[in-house]
Amino acid sequence: MSVILKIAVQKSGRLYEGSMHLLKECGIEVGNGNNQLRVISGNFPVEIFFLRDDDIPEYVQDAVADIGFVGENVMKEKNKSVNAIEKLEFGKCRLSIAVPKSGTLQSINDLSGKKIATSYPVILSEYLEQKNITASIHEISGSVEIAPRIGLADAICDLVSSGSTLFTNELKEIETILFSEALLISNKNLSAEKKIILDRLLFRIRSVKKARNNKYVLLNAPNDKIDAIISLLPGMKSPTILPLAEPGWSSIHSVINETDFWNVIEQLKANGAQGILIIPIEKMII
Ligand code: PRT
Ligand code: ZN
């Protein structure tokens, strides 16, 4: 039987769509896994297992799955013996300590002797120990944000993304413990054959990530401005320059990074660029 790489994906929840979308962008057909425990891809040697996110690190450690897509928060909390291979740039959030807006608690130093409710006792206790704060940790599995209001705890330690849950519950963040996003984790003892499949998958994932973070740019410029403009556009190797039908003008093509996108565009305009077109890149193979 030919070798297959087993991938653990969250069955439903906040990481499901990002995980399935990433596989799709990598050209891996797996259907949508509706109510199935596992699905085999028709065009790539992988099998997807749909699981609760909390179980993924353990299943990967025990080789029930070879790799998994899971939040950094869950990987740290479960503390299993797995390799963190690649950040996946979705499921972004932070694990923060929050306190009632109207109360007297202002900073983590005020938490000594207080009660903190959380679903992340491992990460929180490690953090408090580092900061030399002795507080009692009350572990709860859901609806952590209501704990102060019902008198269960003085503060909470929970995941935040938009901040609206904290806002609705009249809580304010006083400390961020961890920034998290989805990660690709792997079993530590993959066979050589499975490593080859993982490398093929990683190559695709990295191409998808690069494409998302870059844009293709086309612009027109007078020939005497070309040097100034290409110094702003290093591109993959160097920009492509083509003469326009109008004498003295050229069309310049290159790739720019999403992070300093607007800055570069402003500088291009200031240096005489006209008719700037920005086009998304579907895949970027380097
Ligand atoms: O059923 P299963 O156990 O698989 O799922 P789950 O309910 O434990 O997890 P799920 O689907 O809620 O989250 C899966 C993962 O998504 C988490 O482990 C994080 O890595 C990531 N993630 C990203 C988040 C959030 N953003 C997030 N905002 N996980 C949870 N939240 C919750 C948070 O706990 C709080 O209740 O959303 C609320 C806060 O959101 P805002 O937008 O109001 O700040
Ligand atoms: Zn969970």
Ligand 1, atom 7, lies closest to the CA of 13
Q: What is the pLDDT of residue 56?
A: 98
Q: Which atom of ligand 1 is nearest to the CA of 13?
A: 11
pLDDT per residue over 46-97, tens digit each? 999 999 999 999 999 999 999 999 999 999 999 999 999 999 999 999 999 9
Task: Answer whether residue 130 shows pLDDT above 70.
Answer: yes
Helices (H), the chain: 16-25, 56-61, 72-78, 121-130, 164-168, 192-213, 226-232, 261-270
pLDDT computed for residue 32 by the predictor: 67
Ligand nearest to the CA of 71: 1
Element (H, E) at 183: strand 182-186
Token representation of residue 15: 């990481």
Highest mean pLDDT among 88-92, 260-264, 282-286: 88-92
- Model confidence at 34: pLDDT above 70: no
User: 71 CA to middle of ligand 1, Å?
Assistant: 9
pLDDT of residue 260: 81
Q: 1 vs 272, which has greater pLDDT?
A: 272
pLDDT classification of 267: cutoffs 50, 70, 90 = very high
Ligand 1 center–CA 190 separation, angstroms: 30
Average pLDDT score over the chain = 95
Q: What integer is the mean pLDDT of 182-198?
A: 98
Whether the pLDDT of residue 3 is over 70: the answer is yes
Provide the 8-state DSSP code for 203: H
The ligand 1 atom nearest the CA atom of 53 = 4
Q: What is the mean pLDDT of residues 177-186?
A: 98
SS3 223: helix
Residue 145 — very low, low, confident or very high, per pLDDT cuts 50/70/90?
Answer: very high
Ligand nearest to C-alpha 161: 1
pLDDT digits (tens, 9 = 90+) for 233-249: 877 677 899 999 999 99
Residue nearest to atom 30 of ligand 1 (CA): 159
Which pLDDT value is given to residue 134?
96
Q: Which amino acids bring their CB within 6 angstroms of ligand 1? A: 10, 13-15, 52-54, 71, 73-74, 91, 93, 158-165, 180
User: Measuring CA to CA, which residue among 33, 80, 37 is closest to residue 59?
Assistant: 80
Which percentage of the chain shows pLDDT scores above 70? 98
pTM strictly above 0.75: yes
CA distance 19 to 266: 35
195 C-alpha to center of ligand 2: Å? Answer: 28
**Residue 202 in this model has a pLDDT that exceeds 90:** yes
pLDDT per residue as tens digits for the range 94-112: 999 999 999 999 999 999 9
Output the CA 143–ligand 2 centroid distance in Å.
13
13 Cα: distance to centroid of ligand 1 (angstroms): 8
Distance CA 46, CA 134 (A): 46
Q: Is the pLDDT of residue 122 over 80?
A: yes
Ligand 1 atom 22, closest CA: 91
